[in-house]
Amino acid sequence: MLDKLYKRFNLKNGIRVVTENIPYVNSISIGVWIEVGSKNENKINNGASHFIEHMLFKGTDSRNAKNIANTIDNIGGHINAFTSKECTCYHVKVLDSHYKLAIDLLSDILLNSKFEEIEIEKERSVIMEELSMYEDSPEDLAHDMLSQTLYSNHPLGMSIIGTRNSLSDLDKKSLLSYMKDYYVPENIVISVAGNFEEDRLIEEIEKKFGGMEPSKKNGQKIDEVTYNFKQVSKVKDIEQTHYCLGFKGVSLLNKKKHYPLLVVNNLLGGSMSSRLFQKIREENGLTYSIYSYPSIYKNGGSLN
């Protein structure tokens, strides 16, 4: 059934393309997914994946930062990006008639970004403020502390944003070197959903992304998670206590236990009818917010 909904292609250089044609809409969404995130980092370059994501919107050989924003805004589209522990994604949504422009812009920022020193310094300051924002949010801070503690013996414990020390040391040379290692065809999937003509779409993607050369290096091997169970705390001058519990979960590749864990999560704290919500909030009125969620990665996971 799923094979009828979407199609898979491979560009000549190995980039994978997944498409789903939705002929009754007048838009198209395109995502470029790179298999690189904080789990590929170490204490020295922690935050590099996220830093690069920011820098790709700071200017290319033919567009400055304002031009990049205006290119999509002027046609009523939307462009953004995000970094996670396992991947980085650049995505755009436009009217289907503008698909060539969207593909051109995505390929431009991925292949031709300039990484000017002045822009790196400005963005370093922006990311430092982003880090402060998370530190000022006790809920976000609690989740970060949980992840860093539970996976403290594994790269999954690395902060996505990075630390003040690691961010201070990242420079143009280290960012470009990191990007060269991971922004390679074998790590890239391009996903497309919307209204399009298949042949023309694939031809345009091949035209813009086909010039990327495959890596000559072997992919980085990430070990299975070894968990670290202990209690950590941080005192802040606020009105509430934010409390997180983390339990050993399953990896994304463990299909036998992956889906049952999702069911367990829904029963435990994944909805308003869940046991935690009904017992702690509805029956006893002890809290405003209580929930559970699974963190599921290729190399391990947790139920929190």
Catalytic residue numbers read 53
Instruction: Please answer whether residues 120 and 176 qualify as being in contact, where contact means their C-beta atoms are separated by less than 8 angstroms.
Output: no
| Torsion sign across C-alpha atoms 254, 270, 47, 58 | positive
Task: Give Cβ neighbours of residue 85 (< 8 Å, ≥ 6 apart).
Answer: 37, 38, 39, 156, 158, 160, 297
> Measured between alpha carbons, how far is 196 from 99 in angstroms, rounded to an integer?
8
Amino acid found at 174: S
CB 193 within 8 Å of CB 28: yes
Contact assessment for residue 108 and residue 63, using Cβ atoms and an 8 Å cutoff: yes
What's the residue count for the chain? Answer: 304
Give yes or no for a contact between 36 and 183, defined as CB atoms under 8 angstroms apart. Answer: yes
Q: Which pairs count as long-range contacts for 231-234, CB under 8 Å and 24+ apart, including other chains?
A: 232/145, 232/149, 234/141, 234/145
